[in-house]
Amino acid sequence: MRTGMRNIEVDADRLWAATMQMGEIGATANGGCHRLALSDEDRRARDLFSAWMREAGCTVSVDGIGNIFARREGTDPSLSPVMVGSHLDTVPMGGRFDGPAGVMAGVELVRALNDHGVRTRAPVEIVAWTNEEGSRFSPFTMGSSVFAGQLALKDAQAARDITDPLHGPSVGEALRAIGYEGDAPTGGRRPACYLEMHIEQGPQMADEDLQVGIVTGSFQSRYFVATITGEQAHVGPTPMAGRRDALVIASRLVLEIDRVGRAYGPDGRSNAPHIELSPNVRGVIPGVVKLSCDVRHSDARSLQRMEEELRACAAIIAREARAAIALERYYEFGPIHFSPDTIALLRRTTAELGYRHRDILTVAGHDAVPLNTICPSGMIFVASRAGGISHNERESSTREDLAAGANVLLHAVMARAGVVD
């Protein structure tokens, strides 16, 4: 770290105030936030972010999938930018920190550079990515995946609102409705580096009294849709012994999914977070159920065994219930390994600033993952409080937690972008 740069810090109070103000857009009664991608609340959050960035002297542009780029020019505009970003959308009835805290750290980073009159050689861009959560439109990390060339723009814009499949808009229609289908080129460029600050979304850091987590990579995850086909029938006259209730059969499968995750040690994870019934009406035994599920683990061999065990359980349940269960894997994520040079930079910066830290893996997906395919990328975690709960209104972090992460981000950006005397 250069002499004279060590004492430059973010304004912790200003960062906290910005995070809380952003959290008021879509605020819930219990202190959380409900701000689905491309909703009117998302539009208001985007407007606020864009206004703050323009006030800080940045040039703001929007691409065809709605990603917002706020560029603080460097002394050499020909250089590729150092990017910092995260997302503004939340899950339904979620928290105020998952995503927005990282974007607000970017806002504060630019403000701090301005406060101290720091000029960087390379441009710095703060990014708000579209639809990271995937709660309203699938897939998740949509905006960053399009930017990184992993998802075609036309396919992303064609995705329909999964919360209202009959009447909801496509991504393209929703972008136009809120005024964020931009005309900037979508992808096709490689940043010099991408950095992201995020809350941990787990209890490890708080339990170990850590201030910063250096994210070195990720767990491996596999995602499935289980289609359970029983027999639709009348709920009254149909004898219990003769029923092939797809929902009851699916319930047995859900219990097995949970058991498999618990059977593979502290790094095992399994989930069944989404279910669709057909027909989903009173008076009719469901004939078909579609169940979204996933398994995750830090060890590839353990993950393979988890999938094999899940498939074996599904076959047994189907045979015993006289039903059909089709388990289709539709997506696989990780394991990913972030750039060794970027990890080293973040470790060195954190140590020089004197923060308690250690390496950590992410179990969740983040926008840094698709970015890692096109440029050196890295992440830092800050502690999650309230037992590490996330995707919940009680999700929390502290002023000091956010400031620690933002300071690491600030100094890492200065090191990577280069400070001009």
Q: In which band, very low, low, confident or very high, does the pLDDT at 1 lie, cut at 50, 70 and 90?
A: low
Q: What is the dihedral of CA 28, 204, 10, 62, to 10 degrees?
A: -60
Residue 168 shares a structural domain with residue 65:
yes
Q: Report the pLDDT value the prediction gives residue 60, as an integer from 0 to 100.
A: 98
Residue 305 tokens read as 């065994």
CATH number of the structural domain spanning residue 242: 3.30.70.360
Task: Establish if 6 belongs to a structural domain.
Answer: no
List, for residues 115-160, the tens digit of each pLDDT value: 999 999 999 999 999 999 999 999 999 999 999 999 999 999 999 9
Residue 146 shares a structural domain with residue 32:
yes
Per the CB < 8 A criterion, the answer to whether 83 and 127 are in contact is: yes
Tally of domains within the chain = 2
Q: Report the pLDDT value the prediction gives residue 5, as an integer from 0 to 100.
A: 72
Give the chain's end-to-end CA distance (angstroms, integer): 14
Q: Report the pLDDT value the prediction gives residue 30, as an integer from 0 to 100.
A: 95
Read off the pTM.
0.92
> What contacts 415, CB < 8 A, 6 or more positions away?
1, 345, 349
Q: Report the pLDDT value the prediction gives residue 366, as an integer from 0 to 100.
A: 95
Task: Establish if 7 belongs to a structural domain.
Answer: no
Q: In which band, very low, low, confident or very high, does the pLDDT at 408 lie, cut at 50, 70 and 90?
A: very high
Per the CB < 8 A criterion, the answer to whether 295 and 222 are in contact is: yes
CATH number of the structural domain spanning residue 129: 3.40.630.10
List, for residues 85-97, the tens digit of each pLDDT value: 999 999 999 999 9
Task: Establish if 1 belongs to a structural domain.
Answer: no
Task: Establish if 259 belongs to a structural domain.
Answer: yes
Alpha helices by DSSP H, listed for 171-281, are 171-178, 204-207, 246-262
Pairing of strands 377-382, 212-218: antiparallel
Task: Establish if 371 belongs to a structural domain.
Answer: yes
Residue 147 shares a structural domain with residue 278:
no
Residue 256 shares a structural domain with residue 225:
yes
Q: What percent of the chain has pLDDT over 70?
A: 99
Per the CB < 8 A criterion, the answer to whether 120 and 74 are in contact is: yes
Instruction: Calculate mean pLDDT across residues 164-178.
Output: 96
Task: Establish if 22 belongs to a structural domain.
Answer: yes
Domain-terminating residue out of 333, 349, 382: 333
> What contacts 248, CB < 8 A, 6 or more positions away?
321
Residue 400 tokens read as 């000091």
* CA contacts within 13 A on the Cβ side of 284: 12
List, for residues 2-35, the tens digit of each pLDDT value: 656 778 999 999 999 999 999 999 999 999 999 9
Q: What is the largest CA-CA distance in the chain?
A: 84
Residue 390 tokens read as 């996330």
Domain that holds residue 54: 12-218+335-420
Mean pLDDT of the chain: 96
Say whether pLDDT at 111 is over 80.
yes
Residue 360 shares a structural domain with residue 416:
yes
Write out the H or E segment, with its range, that includes residue 404: helix 399-417
To 5 degrees, how large is the angle CA 28–CA 31–CA 34? 35
Handedness of CA 359, 363, 365, 370 (dihedral sign): positive
Q: In which band, very low, low, confident or very high, does the pLDDT at 411 lie, cut at 50, 70 and 90?
A: very high
Residue 227 pairs in a beta bridge with: 290, 326
Residue 200 shares a structural domain with residue 239:
no
Residue 169 tokens read as 């808009």
Say whether pLDDT at 165 is over 90.
no
Say whether pLDDT at 207 is over 70.
yes
Residue 404 pairs in a beta bridge with: none
Domain-terminating residue out of 269, 299, 333: 333
* 354 Rama class: left (phi>0) / alpha (psi -120 to 50) / beta: left
Q: Report the pLDDT value the prediction gives residue 186, as an integer from 0 to 100.
A: 96
Q: Report the pLDDT value the prediction gives residue 234, as an integer from 0 to 100.
A: 97
Q: How far apart are CA 113 and CA 29, in angstroms?
A: 36
Say whether pLDDT at 298 is over 90.
yes
Q: Report the pLDDT value the prediction gives residue 2, as an integer from 0 to 100.
A: 60
Q: How far apart are CA 25 and CA 20, in angstroms?
A: 9
Residue 158 shares a structural domain with residue 279:
no
Residue 152 shares a structural domain with residue 233:
no
Instruction: Calculate mean pLDDT across residues 190-194.
Output: 98
Q: Report the pLDDT value the prediction gives residue 6, as an integer from 0 to 100.
A: 74
Per the CB < 8 A criterion, the answer to whether 296 and 363 are in contact is: yes
Residue 127 shares a structural domain with residue 181:
yes
Residue 213 shares a structural domain with residue 233:
no
Say whether pLDDT at 263 is over 90.
yes
* CA contacts within 13 A on the Cβ side of 179: 8
Residue 55 shares a structural domain with residue 144:
yes
Task: Establish if 3 belongs to a structural domain.
Answer: no
Per the CB < 8 A criterion, the answer to whether 30 and 413 are in contact is: no
Q: Report the pLDDT value the prediction gives residue 3, as an integer from 0 to 100.
A: 56
Domain-terminating residue out of 308, 333, 358: 333
Residue 239 shares a structural domain with residue 353:
no
Cβ atoms within 10 Å of 198's Cβ, excluding its own: 27
